Amino acid sequence: MRKVKNKKVLVAISLKQSFQNATGQAGSWRKKKKVMVAMSGGVDSSVAAALLKKAGFDVVGVFMKCWTEDLEKRCRNLTDDEYTARRVAVKLGIPFYKFDFTREYKKKVIDYFVKEYAKGKTPNPDVMCNKEIKFGLFYDKAISLGFDFVATGHYTQVRKGRFGINLFCGKDPTKDQSYFLYRVASERFKKVIFPVGKYYKTKVRKIAKALDLPNAARKDSQGICFVGKVKLDDFLKNYIQEKPGKIVTKDGEIIGEHQGVYFYTIGQRKGIRLPGGPFYVLDKNVKENLLIVTRNEKDLYKKELLAENINWLSAREPKLPLRIKAQIRYRQKAMPATIEPFSHKTIKIIFDNFQRAISPGQSAVFYRGKKLLGGGIIKN
């Protein structure tokens, strides 16, 4: 009687086949490929490294230090993350290193984040972190050191198409992270592997448990990219001073006082601290230091927005107008819309249905089905 392969072997075979289908490199397995894996200490990147080793890659794990020492103790102890990542590397029997990107992260991510908030906008640091750090500095360093690929624990899928590499949503819709990747140069995905993108998170947990990884039951990290779970107000107050001003209705009636318009987000209800509510943040006038609120939640709904800093993942920009589905914040469903030209560097997005709390500074990301087309920064 033929012996049935165990689950661990089947996982390795499945990943190997997926890699071949995505890159068209079926013959590349004759030569062992080198892959550098960004290991955060979380279960996703740990399973990514484990699967790649099982699939026959020469795997090296790297922990990226991207936060400064003076705020680590107040915000999050990253030593725990690094320690956990090292334990996983020892368990897997792979080399492990640390890259210090604190200076670059401060300049390219934190400074951008704070600058945009100071303008009254609501930027997404994870989008910039992926572009500048994970698939910027980390990617460049790995390739310059002679690695064939880089890998992360993103829930996203790379597939080879007729005209090049395409990016698709992760299989698990509750964990999909394609939204954060639209600003990465598309040619870079030719040398990127997302091993967990074809799995549900529950399956990733089961794989971690089956492989006896030390962080199999570790909770998911939350909060600002690389910084962790810290209140946004507390974080911003380290960089932006409080500036008291008036809270007004859309008709200009003064009804209260705020400590700084920067600390509020369009659509926010909690934290306004006004009697007779609920009130919702409708707009922010940074120039006059006014926080504009409304009692009527319907005021938050709009059908149109303008977007700038557009990045298309295809080799050629599509012709407009274009029917797509657009997602205006992470974990929000992409909704049917039409993209129309507006100016040389700006496009207009017209939704079929009203959208709540469209926020300048956030990203509007475009899809066709599960395929990521590109995106831009919401202007108004």
Residues belonging to the active site:
129, 225
Q: How far apart are CA 336 and CA 137, in angstroms?
A: 35
Q: In the structure encoding, which two tokens stand for residue 326, read together?
A: 């657009």
67: which DSSP letter?
S
DSSP 170-213: -S-TTT--GGGGTTS-GGGGGGEE-TTTTS-HHHHHHHHHHTT-
Which two three-digit tokens encode residue 327?
């997602």
Cβ atoms < 10 Å from Cβ of 155: 24
Note whether 175 and 198 are within 8 A (CB).
Answer: no
Burial (CB count within 10 angstroms: exposed 0-12, middle 13-18, buried 19+), residue 189: buried
Instruction: For the sheet with 192-193, list strands across it.
Output: 96-100, 58-65, 34-38, 149-151, 192-193
Residue 105 CA: distances (Å) to CA of 27, 69, 161, 239, 318? 38, 13, 33, 15, 33
Whether the Cβ atoms of residue 153 and residue 45 lie closer than 8 Å to each other: yes
Cα distances (Å, whole numbers) of residue 150 to 153, 155, 377: 11, 15, 27
